[in-house]
Chains A and B, each alone.
Chain A
C-alpha cells in the first residue's frame, strides 16, 4: 500500500536552533501534503497545506515565518521549525492524499516528537 515516511521520528534540540522535518511519499506522487500538530490530550490540528511548486497555505494563527514549509518535488515536503522554543515542543505529523478511482485517501507519516530544551 501507499506509504508516507516522516523523518526524524524524535528530535531534541536547543532553544534558538532550527529543526527540519521531512515528509516523503514513497510510492505515489503527492501534489498536496498536510502538516498537523498535536498538543498533549488535544486533537491533531492542521497547521498548513503544502503545495508542490507554490507557497504553502497556513491556517489562521500559524506563523509562516516560524514554520517554513517547502514542497520542492512531488514526493517531498519539509517543515522547518525556525528558532525553536520550548513552546514549540509537540508532535508533528504529515499526511499526503493519494487520488484513486473516485476516491481520495489520506496517508500519514509516523510523526515527529520535537522536544526543545
Chain B
C-alpha cells in the first residue's frame, strides 16, 4: 500500500546550519509529494510540493526534489533560522483525495 517513511526527530540545529530531513515513499502509480509544516499552535500548512518525477518544489528557502529512482523527497534548506522551528511532515497523494503522512520531524533551531 501507499506509505511515507520520514526521518525521526527531533532535530536540533544552530542558526545558519544546513538542514536535511529525509523522506522516502512507497506508492503504486505516480503520486504527488508534499512537505507540510506545523508551527506551534497552528494547523498544517503546505510548504512545497512536486507532482511528477524530477520536479523540484521550493518555498521560503526550502527545497525538495521528487526522485522516482530512489523514491525519495528529501527536504533541504541551506541556512536555517530560529523561525523555522516547527514540525515538518512529508506526505503523498496517490491520486485520491486524502493524503498519507510521515510521522513528522520536529526541528528546533537555536540562536
Contact = CB atoms under 8 A, between A and B. Distances in A.
A18 B97 CA distance: 29
Interface in A36-63: 36, 38, 41-44, 46, 49
Interface in B68-111: 89, 97-104
In terms of DSSP, what is the predominant structure of the interface of chain A?
strand
Nearest to A39: B103
B43 A97 contact: no
Interface residues of B, number: 19
Please classify how large the interface on chain A is, using the bins under 10, 10 to 19, 20 to 34, 35 or more: 20 to 34
B46 interface: yes
Interface of B: 4, 8, 36, 38, 41-46, 89, 97-104
Interface of A: 4, 6, 9, 32, 34, 36, 38, 41-44, 46, 49, 93, 95, 97, 104-111
